[in-house]
Amino acid sequence: MNLEQEQNFVYAWRYEGDETACKIGKSSVGSFWGRTGPARTTHYRDIEILGIQLCDSEAHANSQEKNLLGNFKRVRPDREWVYLNNEVWNWIKTYCMKNTPQLIDFDKNANYRVGEKGEERKKTEKARQRKNRAKEKLDAGEYEDALERFTGVIELRPNWADAYLYRGIARFNLDGANDFVLRDFDKAIELNPDLAEAYLYHGYFKEHKSQYGNAIADFDKAIQLKPDLVTAYIARGDVKHMYLEQHEDAITDYDVAIGLTPDDSSIYYQRGKAKIEMAQYQAAISDIDRFIGSNPNSAQPYFYRGVAKFNLNYRKEAKQDFHTAWQLTPENAILLRKKIDSYLS
């Protein structure tokens, strides 16, 4: 069977590496390429086809698409994007083509632009291979190598938004104050205004420049575009807590982040510190306990838990935490040592 000759189907695809959401739609083969065109031309990421359910007729495809979008939980009510949960995976497993030779070939072709052939297709494939190697370097923390490699990708495909995003991330890690960082994030947004991660890192840059209001606006935009982007809630909460003294609003952001990733103890720690500022000392102790349970050799959590206990008049327990914090604090952490000394005295 030649899949490209089939007339009607419903499909699920996601941006490669996205574990949270996929797009559901119905199509014939011809209109499928048009529907995925924006994803393939902006190259925010390569797209990955998760499954295709063949349908008997256009009416069958229309009905199935409507049922799926009605039954699955949507990321946004006005979009065809749904959360990639067990329900979706069960539908794919039960009803869809997956990992068949036809679908693998169909999937491969999905990442080329319409009409791209010959030398242009070879150029795209070369750029994709370079991008994969560059991303490996970025993930490994080899930022100088990653920067150079993403520059090579951009030379081949100057319209790939994610290449500018990743190059900007490499530059940010090398020198957060460099204006070339901002130019890369701006270019990524220009090429793909729906790229939530570009706004996230744009916000990180603004925070680094102490432009806290602008940073919040960027994090707001990232969350609007991708409501399940945990790092944006954490980043917005951190700015509100650490710089703007909006501790109650920060706790709300941390609450959302914890709801999305309940096993990340570092968010509990940040929320615990914000709760200390709100005089919610017992709740702060519970949050910081959770972090210490998985990070027993970090000094600062013991200090902040000691502060909460001190304010509850648990002086003996507070003193124990301050002593532990002192023992774990590096000698060059002068400010923290002074804080601990102040409480111990």
At the second CATH level, the architecture of 279-345 is: Alpha Horseshoe (1.25)
Distance CA 309, CA 306 (A): 5
In sequence order, the 6+-apart residues with CB closer than 8 A to the CB of 326 are 299, 337, 340, 344
Q: What is the pLDDT of residue 107?
A: 64
Q: What is the pLDDT of residue 216?
A: 98
How many Cα neighbours within 13 Å face the side chain of 43?
Answer: 24
Could you tell me the residue ranges of all domains in the chain?
3-109, 279-345
Distance CA 278, CA 208 (A): 26
Per-residue pLDDT of the chain (345 residues; tens, 9 = 90+): 455 555 689 999 888 767 788 999 998 776 776 677 666 555 455 778 888 898 888 899 999 999 999 999 988 777 789 998 899 999 999 999 876 676 766 666 665 554 556 677 778 878 888 988 999 999 999 999 999 999 999 999 898 999 999 999 999 999 988 889 999 999 999 998 989 999 999 999 999 999 999 999 999 999 999 888 999 999 999 999 999 999 999 999 999 999 989 999 999 999 999 999 999 999 999 999 999 999 999 999 999 999 999 999 999 999 999 999 999 998 888 999 899 988 888
Reduced 3-state DSSP string for the chain: CCHHHCCCEEEEEEECCCCCEEEEEEECHHHHHHHCHHHHHHCCCCEEEEEEEECCCHHHHHHHHHHHHHHCCECCCCCCEEECCHHHHHHHHHHCECCCHHHHHHHHHCCCCCCCCHHHHHHHHHHHHHHHHHHHHHHCCCHHHHHHHHHHHHHHCCCCHHHHHHHHHHHHHHCCCCHHHHHHHHHHHHHCCCCHHHHHHHHHHHHHCCCHHHHHHHHHHHHHHCCCCHHHHHHHHHHHHHCCCCHHHHHHHHHHHHHHCCCCHHHHHHHHHHHHHCCCHHHHHHHHHHHHHHCCCCHHHHHHHHHHHHHCCCHHHHHHHHHHHHHHCCCCCHHHHHHHHHHHC
Which tokens hold the place of 15? Answer: 């941006």
Q: What is the pLDDT of residue 1?
A: 44
